[in-house]
Amino acid sequence: MFGLFPSKKETPRTERLRALSLFVNLTPRELKIVDGLLHERQFLKDEVIFDKGDEGQAIYIIIDGCVWILPQGKAGDGQTIELGPGTFFGDLALLDNSVRSAQARAATTTTLAVFFRADFMGLLETHGLIASKISLQLARHIGRRLRESHNVATGGQHL
């Protein structure tokens, strides 16, 4: 009524964001607030998203297309990781301004949603509940990755 309270109807982008593990615990209203903070960028095939050694300022969510993560900064060295729609990368940048550990390059024409660290920090102050839900999911994601790399290093033993 009178447009005082926002509509809970989801847009195609918020529907995609909902499927993302990072935002899975958010209510539609919370998701809409986060959606308002995201920047959408388009990268052409082979365009560099960020370089290894850059100061990380944002986390990238793949809306459409594919991205290569190149730890050595070049494709075809056997260490390339390909990420598809619905995944995210550069997540450590949300926590601190440490340098990027690998290069990210668009494998196809790609649409990305960019979540800037300053906006996340603002969210911590103004919407603590939303930020804590995202933080928990981020911690789970990093924990899972840590376990995986440990398993690879120790040949399958649990951490």
Partner 1 sequence: MIETERDSGPVVWVSIIAVTCLLLLAFQKILFLVVPFLLALILYYILYPTVQRLVLAGMSRAAAASVVTLAFLALLVACGYLMLPWITLHLMDWQMAVENYVQGGMSLLGRSLTELEDRYGMLQRAHLAATVGQRLNEFTGGLAEQHVAPILIGLAGWTPSLLLAPFLSFFILKDGQYFQSFLARAVPNAFFEKTLYLMSEVDQAARAYFLGLMKLTILDTLTLGIGLWLLGMTAPMGLGLLAAVLAWVPFVGSILGGVVVVLVAATDFPNQPAMAAWVVALFIFVRLLDDFVYMPLTIGKSLHMHPLIAVLMIFIGGAVAGILGLMLALPLLGVVMVVGKTVGAIVTDSRLMARYWHGRALRSAQASADL
CB of 85 to partner 1, least distance (A): 19
CB of 71 to partner 1, least distance (A): 18
Stretch that binds partner 1, among 34-42, 70-78, 140-148, 151-159 (CB under 8 A): 34-42
Q: Does 148 bind partner 1 (CB under 8 A)?
A: no
Place of tokens 């550069």: 90
- Please give the biggest Cα pair distance in the chain: 61
Q: Does 11 bind partner 1 (CB under 8 A)?
A: no
Torsion, Cα 66 71 74 79, to 10 degrees, reads: -80
CB of 88 to partner 1, least distance (A): 15
d(CA 48, CA 39): 17
Closer Cβ to partner 1, 41 or 141, answer by number: 41
Torsion, Cα 89 92 94 99, to 10 degrees, reads: -100
Measured from the Cβ of residue 7, the count of other Cβ atoms closer than 10 Å reads 9
Q: Does 54 bind partner 1 (CB under 8 A)?
A: yes
Stretch that binds partner 1, among 64-72, 76-84, 112-120, 137-145 (CB under 8 A): 112-120
d(CA 61, CA 43): 13
**Chain residues in the site for partner 1 (CB under 8 A):** 2-6, 29, 33, 36-37, 39, 41, 43-51, 54-55, 57-58, 114, 116, 118-119, 126-127
